[in-house]
Structure 1
Amino acid sequence: MNSTDNSTDGSTALWLRRYHPATDRDVRLVCFPHAGGSASFYHPVSAKHSPVADVIALQYPGRQDRRREPCVTDIGTLADLITEKLLTQSEKPTVFFGHSMGAVLAFETAWRLEQKGTNAPRAIIASGRRAPATTRPETVHERDDDGIIAELKLLNGTDPGLLGDDEILRMALPAIRGDYRAIETYRCDPEDRAVRCPITVLTGDADPRTTLDEAAAWERHTEGAFRLEVFPGGHFFLATQPAAVNAQISRELEKIGKS
């Protein structure tokens, strides 16, 4: 493993985006986007926390400047690839933040890093996603384009301008479909998969895809402390309440900075 941040590696730079480079900070925040999301979703989060943390936003294949690359349609495979890239980074106290599909990826990546004994996060913030071992019969990835667009409108997390721009939307749909395939076919055994680090779960009280019980079930997946924070709003409550969500991130960064 390299002992310094591998910012000159072109392959690594495709995955790990630093919008406000601060590699000299003592703590790190790694952000995992939602299904169909991109690293740029976390640009405001990076701006907020880069004064105190080295903020990395992940860019999965198949979107934006990586749109010509095939999507990775299996959560385990994607977590393996992310783990490989994070192992190129210097080791420092780290918080993982993931929303929706990103919450599961943050969890799976943390578990892999813990198994390797290096670069594992000190804390996970899982936002807008039911616990890994909970299941629902979901087949959004099997719908036609109109069916996927209907799901995006239900969750209210896509820029209305994007939904109204047919050309841009058609470019984005393969990545959205691929991500939905990955998360909807994901399965996790709670007896086999728990991390040692604490988990904080953030959820909206009106999220159509996560009940409060399903959010609370994350507690089964950690051997450390567990905390559940409920916000007013739906699946993308973090977009309407950025200050409150950033306060949760600041709390965890401050905590690992003191440990």
Structure 2
Amino acid sequence: MNRPADVSPLKWLRWYRKAAEPRLRLVCFPHAGGAASVFRDWPRWLPEDIEVIGVCYPGRQDRVMEPCVDEMGALTTRIADALQGYAGGRLAFFGHSMGASVAYEVALRLQQRTGSPLAWLFVSGQLPSHRVVPKNVYRRGDDAIVDEVRRLGDPDAGTVLDDPDLRELVLPAIRADFHLIGTYLPRPVSPLATPVTAYVGDGDEEVPVEGLREWAAATATGRFDHRVYPGGHFYLLEDPEALVRDLAGHLTTASAAG
């Protein structure tokens, strides 16, 4: 299939495991300021026939010289374009924080275009679209954005932001992501024909458990569950194994169901 260069899968997707005959492809969406490489170790806790793919947003890692995308509709449309060729296969999405909202919006676009629902949607550290609370941090300048990143507790970003040279390199992407989530306004949930599982850390001040449970409205299948793990907003960086093994159990269920 011929595609415009800016929506080529090779530009947007990073394979951390390829399988000759994949049972499922798990596509993972990073948090604000995050990179696809946060998922590079996940294959060690998943069956060998499940591919692991990280989404690489513009403006970071090997795409650092590309213009960032700071609007949800523009970003998710381009990611859906890159993934559309795989929609006839078995896809599952995982997204954390901003990535959860991006994953949900991409899933909607693919379902509307192709009629093929995901095998599963996993969302983490984020509220559903009707409960999101946009913040205007992006309007208050770079120092406010950096303070917010530190408050949320991303250990990788915190280390990078301590280095003045690296800070200037990564700030454009963080700035764009904070604009994206700050302008993603609450709206009614459009249900997916897909099971949904939601995760959160028990110390996450951004996402109360009662709000997390409202992701149940995002599935038309009636199949929703949630898990709470020890830790804050970035609990999954503290103990990824527990989370990924739970994903593996759900993906085994999905593949058995065909």
Give the TM-score normalised by the residue count of structure 2.
Answer: 0.91
- Residues of 1 paired with 2:10 and 2:47: CA distance? 18
The alignment partner of 2:16 has SS state of coil
The alignment partner of 1:78 has SS state of helix
Q: How does 1:1-259 map to 2 (within 5 A)?
A: 11-49=8-46, 51-89=48-86, 91-159=88-156, 160-190=158-188, 193-224=190-221, 225-259=223-257
Q: AA paired with 2:176? A: G
Output one character per residue of 1:21-64: Cα deviation in whole Å (capped at 9) or x when no partner: 22522211100111111111110114433612121110011111
5+ residue gaps, structure 1, are: none
Equivalent pair of 1:86/1:119 in contact (CA under 8 Å):
no
5+ residue gaps, structure 2, are: none
Equivalent pair of 2:69/2:176 in contact (CA under 8 Å):
yes
The alignment partner of 2:65 has SS state of coil
RMSD: 2.2
- Residues of 2 paired with 1:194 and 1:29: CA distance? 20
The percent of aligned pairs where both chains have the same amino acid is: 37
Output one character per residue of 1:155-190: Cα deviation in whole Å (capped at 9) or x when no partner: 111324312211111110110010111112112422
Q: AA paired with 2:108? A: W
Q: AA paired with 1:163? A: L
- Residues of 1 paired with 2:216 and 2:236: CA distance? 21
* Shift in CA distance, 9/176, structure 1 to aligned 2, threshold 3 Å: closer
- The aligned length equals 254
* Shift in CA distance, 232/12, structure 1 to aligned 2, threshold 3 Å: same
Shift of 1:239: 0.9
* Shift in CA distance, 67/56, structure 1 to aligned 2, threshold 3 Å: same
Output one character per residue of 1:75-117: Cα deviation in whole Å (capped at 9) or x when no partner: 1211111111111237322211000011011111111111123
Q: Which moved more, 1:234-243 or 1:113-122?
A: 113-122
* Shift in CA distance, 258/63, structure 1 to aligned 2, threshold 3 Å: same
The alignment partner of 2:236 has SS state of helix
Give the TM-score normalised by the residue count of structure 1.
Answer: 0.91
